[in-house]
Structure 1
Amino acid sequence: MQLAASSGLLSLGMFVVGIAVVALLAGSFWLGARIKLREPPRPRPDEQPHLPPDGPVHEVRENREPDEVPVMPKDGRALTPYELTNMQTRTSASKTRPRWSRGSSGSFGGGGLGAH
């Protein structure tokens, strides 16, 4: 019966926990306000980015092809990744767009029927 009886100490503990939570929330709002005051002000409308004088930039469509990987001589040692250059791409001479096989989605696991 004594465990079920209300205790003044338990209610005092809950009150202290509630006050601590409110103090923590108030402190977080105060800290957020201080951080916001240190930030630079928002840009004015005249400081916003504008379109270039010749209008919006348009998309350029071109085919790219990779640089060739160096060919190894038959008796030479294999090149390590550190000896290869950063593989760049260049503009392709071909203007036709590459296409996937008919009936394929073009990606692995894309849900297409695949080439039959």
Structure 2
Amino acid sequence: MQLAAASGLMSLFLFIVAVGVLALLAGGFWMTSRVRSNESPRPRPEEQPKLPPDGPVREIRQNRESAEIPRIAKGDRPLTPYELSNMDSKPSESQERPRWSKGSSGSFGGGGLGAH
């Protein structure tokens, strides 16, 4: 019965915990204001990005082919990736988009019948 009785010590403990939580919240607001004061100011409306005079930039779709990998003579050691230059690509002669074969799933393990 004595454990269930209201205790002044328990009330004091809860009050101290509440004051501690309020102190943490106030400290968080104080820290946030210090961090914001050190940040650069927000851009003004006239500093915002503008569209180019020609209007929005459009997407260009084209098929590209990679450059040929240099062939090595039989018996020579293979080239390492570090010996290959930055392999550039060029526009493909055919700009027709590649399509999957009829009846193909289009991906490995896609569940289709595959090309027959």
TM normalised by structure 1 equals 0.75
Displacement of 1:42 in angstroms is: 2.2
Q: Secondary structure of 1:65's partner?
A: strand
Matched-pair identity in %: 65
- The 2-side partners of 1:14 and 1:109 are apart by 61
Structure 2 unaligned spans of 5+? none
> 1:41-52 residue pairs with structure 2 within 5 A?
41-52=41-52
Aligned partner of 1:59 in structure 2 is 59
Q: Take 1:112 and 1:45, find their aligned partners in 2: how far apart are those partners?
A: 54
- Local SS of the residue matching 2:74: coil
> Aligned with 2:71: secondary structure?
coil
Give distance in 2, aligned partners of 1:102 and 1:36.
60
- Residue deviations 1:53-107 (CA, integer Å, cap 9, x gap): 1222111111111122222321011222322233332222222221122244534
Aligned position for 1:12: 12
Counterpart for residue 26 of structure 1: 26
- Partner SS state of residue 14, structure 1: helix
Once residues 13 and 101 of structure 1 are traced to their aligned partners in structure 2, the CA distance between those partners, rounded to angstroms, is 75
Trace 1:73-92 onto structure 2 (pairs within 5 A): 73-92=73-92
Alpha-carbon distance in structure 2 between the residues aligned to 1:111 and 1:74: 41
Q: C-alpha displacement at 1:112, in angstroms? A: 5.6
In the comparison of the two structures, how many residue pairs are matched? 116
Per the normalisation by structure 2, the TM-score is 0.75
Equivalent-residue separation in structure 2 for 1:114 and 1:8 (angstroms): 79
Which residue identity lines up with residue 94 of structure 1 in the other structure? S
Amino acid at match of 2:88: Q
